Amino acid sequence: MGSGCLKVTKYFLFLFNLLFLILGAVILGFGIWILADKTSFIAVLQTSSPSLKTGAYILIGVGALTMLMGFLGCLGAVNEIRCLLGLYFTCLMIILITQVAAGLVIYFQKETLKGELSHIVKDLIEKYNPLNEDKKNLQEVWDYVQIQISCCGWTGAKDWEDNGIIINKSMTEYPCSCSNRTEDLEEGRGFCRLDDPVNGTATYTDWPVHGQGCMDGVEQWLKDNLGVILGVCTGVAVIELLGMILSISLCKNIHSEDYTKVPKS
């Protein structure tokens, strides 16, 4: 192949690796966001679910490795170093296989994750106590979720009947974050007192709260964010394939160019 085609292949590979470097940084950012986020429902999961923490660390590792591979690809393409290009091709193939395997595991384990999520939330509701400073951040996140989604409990307001404090108050108190009244939402967290309970007792049907559970809203929230993550990963996979094709092509062309430079006897 002529030197002109070699240069075109080289600079195309450089551009793809530059984009690859940026997308690797995005994946790394997603992993850090999952671990650091304290203001959305992801905080409930990352505090209580070892599966999500493991996934976040995997994203960070893959993102960091992807950035390193992008750097090696740029370096190998510009300087036409065959051993770096070969290492780059091998690492890209390993990363791509790992991504496909991880995607399959997530897909086939989604029902398990859903059951784990349900258990985490119901346990949080049962033990919810605004005076518990150790769980304050986690409880505030759940209050935030109920206010933002306009929902109550996981499957419905009935879930809150299992809360110890509400049971001790004969159901005459309810979570303020579930309320459909503006004055209760100003409080934002903890429990609000039911006005004029009949005979000093009540049930969840007497509470001025939203009837819809948070399960559907949270699942939609997770799907929306998962779509963004999968979209980024798909983009990275396409660039990985192109990078593999260009790197092996450039490696062969450099080999051919080396032979054409050997003087004939």
DSSP 141-187: HHHHHHHHHT--SSSSGGGGGG-HHHHHTTT-EEEGGGBSSHHHHHH
Say yes or no to pLDDT of 258 above 50.
Answer: no
Provide the token pair at 9: 């292949």
Whether the CB-CB separation of 173 and 160 falls below 8 Å is answered with no
Domain-embedded: residue 142 = yes
148 CB-contact burial (10 Å; exposed 0-12 / middle 13-18 / buried 19+): middle
262, part of any domain: no
Does one domain contain both 52 and 95? Answer: yes
Q: What is the DSSP string of 92-130?
A: HHHHHHHHHHHHHHHHHTHHHHHHHHHHHHHHHHHT--T
Q: Are residues 161 and 81 in the same domain?
A: no
- In the chain, what are the helix, strand and coil shares in percent, each to the nearest 5? 75, 5, 20
CB neighbour list of residue 133: distance below 8 Å, 6 or more residues apart: none
Side-chain half-sphere exposure of 209, counting CA atoms within 13 A: 32
Mean pLDDT lowest for which of 17-31, 39-53, 190-204, 234-248? 39-53
Q: What is the pLDDT of residue 228?
A: 75
pLDDT band of residue 233 (cuts 50, 70, 90) is: confident
Is 184 in the same domain as 91?
A: no
34 and 103 in a single domain? The answer is yes
User: How much is the average pLDDT of 85-106?
Assistant: 78
Please identify which residue in the block is written with the tokens 């966001």: 33
Residue 44's pLDDT band, with cuts at 50, 70 and 90, is low
pLDDT (mean) for 150-163? 91
- Whether residues 130 and 246 fall in one domain: yes
263: in domain: no
Domain stops at, among 70, 97, 120: 120
Give the residue among 14, 7, 13, 61 at the shortest CA–CA distance from 34: 61
Instruction: Please indicate, yes or no, if residue 85 is contained in any of the structural domains.
Output: yes
How does residue 8 score in pLDDT terms, banded at 50, 70 and 90?
A: confident
C-alpha 24: how far from its chain's center?
15
Residue 157 sits in the same domain as residue 91: no
Q: Which of 120, 155, 179 is the last residue of a domain?
A: 120
Residue 169 has pLDDT above 80, yes or no: yes
**Closest Cα partner for 14 from 64, 68, 75?**
75
State residue 247's pLDDT score: 76
**Residue that finishes a domain, picked among 120, 149, 179:** 120
Q: How far apart are CA 36 and CA 58, in angstroms?
A: 15
- How many structural domains does the chain have? 2
Task: Indicate whether 126 and 214 sit together in one domain.
Answer: yes
Q: Is residue 26 located within the same domain as residue 47?
A: yes
Domain shared by 239 and 133, yes or no: yes
Helix 50-79 and helix 215-260, axial crossing angle in degrees, nearest 10: 20
Task: Please check whether residue 84 is in contact with residue 76, taking contact to mean a CB–CB distance below 8 angstroms.
Answer: yes
Mean pLDDT lowest for which of 96-100, 105-109, 116-120, 121-125?
Answer: 105-109
Euclidean distance between CA atoms 145 and 51, whole angstroms: 21
Are residues 109 and 139 located together in one domain of the fold? no
Structural domain for 94, as ranges: 3-120
Same-domain pairing of 139 and 163: yes
Q: Residue 48 and residue 37: Cα distance in Å, rounded?
A: 14
Least confident of 33-42, 96-105, 130-139, 190-199: 33-42
Amino acid, res. 136:
K
pLDDT in tens, 22-41: 878 888 888 787 777 655 55
Q: Do residue 115 and residue 224 come from a single domain?
A: no
Q: Who has greater pLDDT, 255 or 190?
A: 190
